Structure 1
Amino acid sequence: MRKSLLTFALAGCLFLLIVGAKWATFDRYGSPMPDWDQWDAEALQLLVPWYEKDHFLQHLFTPHNEHRVVLTKLQNLGLTVLNGQWDSRLEAATNALLHAAIAVAFWLCARRWVAVRWHTALFLLAFALFGFPLAWQNILGGFHSQQFWLLGLSFGAIVTLPFARTGSGRWWFGLGCAILVLGSMGSGMLASAVVFMVVAWRLLRRETTLRAAWLTLLLTAALVAIGLITRVEVDYHQKLKATTVHDFVFSCLRSLEWPLRDRDWAGAIVWLPWVIAAWRVTRAPRDQPDAAGVSPSPPAGSQTGQVIVALGGWVLVQIVATAYARGAGADYPASRYMDTLAFGAMANGAALAWLLSIARGEGDTAPRLARYAVALAWLIAVGLGLRAILEINLRYELPDARKYYNKAEGHMRRYLATNDRKQLAHPDIPFPSADGLVDRLARPSLRALMPLPVRAPLTMARATAATPSLAETFRANTAIDVDIEHPPRLGLSPATPPLDYTTTHGSFAPAGDGGTATGTWRSEPLTAPIGGWLKFETAGDLGVPGAGVSLRLLDPQTGRVLSEVAPTKRPGDTWRAAYVRAPHGPFVIAANDESSRAWLAFSPPVEMGVWSYRAWQLTKHGLLIMYVTAGVTLLLLVIAWRESRSSPRATV
């Protein structure tokens, strides 16, 4: 297999492994429901201004806390407009693509910096750091794409801008990243600060000339100045700042020791590869610039070490900034910051592989035993830390998040179906206050965008022309605000739990109840404004061939069958969802029970956007994607290993 094709295939596998792992995590623990910060940054400052045409550009650049999350807003607005529905699952699924792309870019660059024998190790490290549910808040939170925009754009700026010829394509790419990253988070300007320091260092070492470097220095200094000038302080977050030297120092130490915890000395091991690489960079002979003031195309000579040190240095600056802004109490870093710390671990892994790749004839005087002792200590520290984080997240954090989402979804679903404020009088709601949530949901434009599973069903009324005796076959059951110990079960079997947020219709009739055993129910014509998919909750014998029960969507004019509604398995005494494409025009819901032994029950349909449906299908198959890709990856790695043994030994 050609080397370029093999590299491309492995890059694709790494991408799919990470995406599959993240999608599987969201499928098991996440929710499409907007949560906390989304009700301000996305609802009030993005969606309402867009759909109500209320000074959209002004709201787009309005800070959210200390950050101007312009890129996150634009991304999520694009997804909402495309989908016709506001869906955190769709946002999170897209975020997984961003993070996986960053991992692939890092791995592809690192392949050029180290010997071939370390490519597989870096591949596995990238999957572990970017694919495992470490920063679980960023995996489940659709609003958290700002973390990935910060990482990806900062990486692009640091890897390219300090080493590219001014005016070249790579230089413009790096400059574009440095500009755009200002719209990610408040610390976006730190990428330009690191680029400035790298270029200044190269200028002092005479690896470039002032003529070649002055524009990059000027522009990055200007971007840092813009970041400082547009910096925002909010009064309600002042209490989160580190106000003592103790809090600041130990907040830094507890980030440096990541992924270990409660081992303040561990940062010395976790960051040892970067420290050694930085020491080597300061001692390395300088590269000679060419006539245009640019040294050989990166990463060549000492540039490799400079890139790695710059990436790790950027993470260190982020740690310092976070310790200052969120260091009160010197607590362990929150989950949402762990993707940045994982990026730092990847930089240390690349530094370690680079150090192990340097031939002794090129100036490495350290004994081989010492080098491998450092590698072993680093691997043990990082491995133990990752194992501990995974155990905590999988045993406690993620299951607790799922429990919270279940409760919050129920409260939101009942409120949106009934407009009863007392449905939000609970601690587990997706906003700090019930009054604030009610105020936001009072906006018709926002309520129209609500996703499954909190969206109110379509209004479904029995056709007035229906024969009363036939209509009684399907009896309406409402269990909202009733005795939960003894809820009504009209039209439902005694073992079927009634839905507590809507009215259902069912044909179950106990012996001697006096109801008809067979009949038909038809609705008034309905329309689906979003035009995506319809979700019905069904119970009974629907979907069983020959059972004599059916649920269909009909053309209101001709009676033609538009869709058959049936779940993939017989629901029985439980509720099972059935999905059908929403008709483009009006439709009628028709339920038919022709059997005295079978029965069915159904709810009004709830709309689901086309891309919401696709995101649900993709996340549902996340594990399958990961397992299949893992098998392909194993085969490709065996091929790569065989080819590396048959080719001459690669050097840096």
Structure 2
Amino acid sequence: MSIDVVEVKPSLQTERLWRWLAIGSLGLIVFGAKILFIRYFGSAVPYWDQWDAEADILYKAYLNSNLSWSALFAPHNEHRILLTRLLSLLLFELDGGWDPILQMMVNAGLHVVAIVLIVLALQRILGPGQLVSLVAFSAVLFLLPIGWENLLAGFQSQFYLLLIFTILALSGLAVAPAFGARWWISVAYAIAAFFSMASGALIGAAALGIVVLQMLLRVRLGRKEYAGAAVLLVMSMVMIAFVPNVAGHDGLKAHSIGELIRALLACLDYPRSGSFAGILTNLPLLAYAYYVLKTRPPRTSPHWIVLSIIVWWFGQILSLSYGRAVAPTSSRYLDIIIVALPVNFAILLFAARTVSIDRQHGLFVATAAWLVLILPGLVLNTASSGFPSVFEKAAQSSEQQASVVEYIRTGSMAVLQNKPFLAIPYPSPDRLASLLSDPTIRMALPRLIQPTDVSDSAMLDRTLLKGRFRAGLERVKAVVLSFASLMLGLGLAMAFMTTFHKSHRRT
């Protein structure tokens, strides 16, 4: 007795429904996991740069009605974080005050948006049913606390804004005709990325590299395209020229070719820290670049978008290796470094549907070997560094909160001085005391540490919305924090549903 196997072909609408169900499961899994980390390990006490960049420069000036546009565009280290400042002001108004926990939650949402955009860009080169595999890999990757420094800091939205505007910009510039509506919108996205982080200046350069390749391969021609390339060149040069140079950060940079190469190898090597075998994990990127250049797909092909992401990513880690050669794989930079992992995996999935049948066994072995290189490294890093660092950060945050609250209560400098490193949330006790003693800043402090003698209504009177959305936003925040595990569980259930659907498409 034999059973015939036939493939059931669903309607286009049904297929789209399952595709968005898979994407939704990824978003819920990652967002739920991030909110759980914030709930258990996040702190409402501002940390490090937040005291100067937010408390003093932003909120104090805003409440005193002397915040200028020049201050919003002013450099913060090497970056011009206009969008982060505007987002901080928006949340300050909506919440009727300063809430680092709310900032973390919004940042978690921004990261999920960036992850979904990356997956959507990659799924365009995949075959039917392969999206589930990419979603499963991405869910495992991004629910881990790899970039925990960004996750547990309210002031790190710039990393996620950079990723969002990068994918949006490259998705247009790599395929759209020059000077069309989509092209101009993509240029605006690239400018927005520059006002998120300094490395946003490299988006135009990455797009220009793809445009030049397309011209050399004669898939993008015409005077208008040459003029568009010239605009991208000028835009990139202007952006790079306006990246500030911080003399105090010279010690963080690479001072020789050897230092640059070591830092670059560390980025390429992740997560196989210290193992040169880890560099093999990026071989799919090279093979894919060769494939695209050899096959010369038309300008509108999604392959150019994926190749532009690869070019941009390499420019990012090269810039990072030069500017932060001392510790290029610090947790805060890993959110950018790990973008290459789902791209590599998507390329392996793409290869699986394009190679001949007699080569599929070899490709299956290569994919298994790639996963063996990646997954144990991710687990080891999370167990040996990720979770211990998160626990340490939570303990430090508790000590910092106690120190700040005690100083606000007593005004005694002894509470802040002669403390172990990171026992207070700012490197200088004198500067922290000065900020905590400022009447306007005391008014703007998060409610958890706000002095009892401060009039909340007096602060709200200086805002535009007067705190009218505070109660509703507090309820929303409480619900999201309370039901984080439910979101994670719902995402997992949806993921199992899509996997079950894929496995039973053949009956």
Match of 1:627 among 477, 489, 492: 489
Which amino acid is 1:284 matched to? T
Matched to 2:33, the amino acid is A
Name the structure 2 match of 1:637. Answer: 499
* 1:635 partner letter: M
CA contact (8 A) 1:136 1:393 kept: no
Q: Tell me which of 314, 324, 327 is aligned to 1:326.
A: 324
In 2, Cα distance between equivalents of 1:122 and 1:272: 18
8 A contact 2:80–2:196 mirrored in 1: yes
Counterpart Cα distance in 1 of 2:346 and 2:498: 22
The CA deviation at 1:167 is 4.2
Match of 2:354 in 1: 358
> Which position in structure 2 is the counterpart of 1:278?
289
The answer to whether residue 193 in structure 2 is matched with residue 181 in structure 1 is yes
Describe the SS at the equivalent of 1:266.
helix
The letter of the residue matching 1:634 is F
Which residue pairs with 1:440 in the alignment?
435
Letter of the structure 2 residue corresponding to residue 369 of structure 1: H
Residue identity in the other structure for 1:630: L
Alignment of 1:461-476 (within 5 A): none
Count of aligned pairs between the two proteins: 485
Provide the identity percentage. 25
**Aligned mates of 1:412, 1:254 — CA distance in 2:** 38
CA separation of 1:63 and 1:612: change in aligned 2, threshold 3 A = farther
User: Shift of the alpha carbon at 1:286?
Assistant: 4.8
Secondary structure class of the residue paired with 1:455: coil
Q: Is the 8 A contact 1:260 1:382 kept in 2?
A: yes
Contact 2:193 2:201 in 1 (8 A): yes
SS for the counterpart of 1:143 is coil
* Alignment deviations for residues 322-364 of structure 1 (CA, whole Å, 9 cap, x no partner): 1111113xx4610000011111112212222222221439xxx
Task: Give SS of 1:624's match.
Answer: helix
Which residue in the other structure is 2:399 paired with? 407
CA distance in 2, matches of 1:22, 1:155: 22
How big is each residue's C-alpha offset from its partner over 1:268-289, in whole Å with a ceiling of 9 and x where there is no partner? x2101101111212221453xx
Counterpart selection for 1:317 from 315, 318, 325 = 315
Q: CA offset at residue 169 of structure 1?
A: 4.0
2:276 aligned residue (264, 275, 279):
264
Cα distance, 1:416 vs structure 2: 2.0
Asked if 2 retains the 8 angstrom alpha-carbon contact of 1:34 and 1:430, the reply is yes
Aligned mate of 1:423, from 415, 421, 429: 415
Q: Deviations over 1:61-83 (max 9, x none)?
A: 11111111111111111101111
**Aligned partners of 2:172 and 2:186 also within 8 Å:** yes
Contact 2:121 2:306 in 1 (8 A): no
- Spell out, residue by residue over 1:573-595, the C-alpha distance to the aligned partner (whole angstroms, 9 max, x if none): xxxxxxxxxx99xxxxxxxxxxx
CA distance in 2, matches of 1:60, 1:262: 41
**Following the alignment from structure 2 to structure 1, what is the Cα–Cα distance between the partners of residues 450 and 331?**
29
Q: Does 1:389 align with 2:381?
A: yes
User: Using the alignment, how far apart are the partners of 2:276 and 2:325 within structure 1?
Assistant: 15
Looking at structure 2, the residues matched to 65 and 641 of structure 1 have their Cα atoms a distance apart, in angstroms, of: 51
Alignment of 1:54-203 (within 5 A): 54-203=66-215
Deviations 1:377-402 (A, max 9, x none): 21111101110121124541010000
Q: Would you say 1:372 and 2:372 are equivalent positions?
A: no
On the 8 A contact 2:253/2:325 being kept in 1, the answer is yes
- Corresponding residue number in structure 2 for 1:230: 242
Contact 1:49–1:59 (8 Å) recurs in 2: no
Tell me which moved more, 31-40 or 42-51: 42-51
Of 265, 269, 275, 1:253 maps to 265
**Offset from partner CA, 1:407-436 (integer Å, 9 cap, x none):** 001111122233333222233111111111
Q: Which has the higher strand share?
A: 1
The alpha-carbon deviation at position 180 of structure 1 amounts to: 0.8
Q: Does the aligned pair in 2 maintain the 1:196–1:216 contact within 8 Å?
A: no
Counterpart CA distance in 2 for 1:616 and 1:212 is 53
Equivalent residues in 2 for 1:574-613, closer than 5 Å: 611-612=473-474
Match of 2:341 in 1: 345
Residues 256/394 of structure 1: CA separation in 2 closer, same or farther (3 Å cut): closer
Deviation at 1:148, TM superposition (A): 0.7
- 8 Å CA contact 1:89, 1:616 repeated in 2: no
8 Å Cα contact 2:175-2:305 kept in structure 1 = no
Instruction: State the distance in 2 between where 1:314 and 1:408 align.
Output: 38
Q: Which residue of 1 aligns with 2:301?
A: 298
- Stretches of structure 2 that go unaligned for 5 or more consecutive residues are 1-12, 461-466
Indicate the residue corresponding to 1:35 in structure 2. Answer: 47
Q: Tell me the secondary structure at the aligned position of residue 75 of structure 1.
A: helix
Higher percent of residues as helix = 2
Distance 1:123 1:226 in 2: 38
| CA RMSD across the alignment | 2.3
Point out 4+ residue stretches in structure 1 off by more than 4 angstroms: 526-531
Q: Higher relative contact order by CA 8 Å / sep ≥ 6: 1 or 2? A: 2
Matches of 1:169 and 1:123, distance apart in 2: 31
Q: Residue 611 and residue 417 in structure 1: after superposition, are their counterparts in 2 closer, same or farther (change >3 A)?
A: farther
The two structures have a TM-score, normalised by structure 1, of 0.71
Measured in 1, the distance between the counterparts of 2:207 and 2:414 equals 54
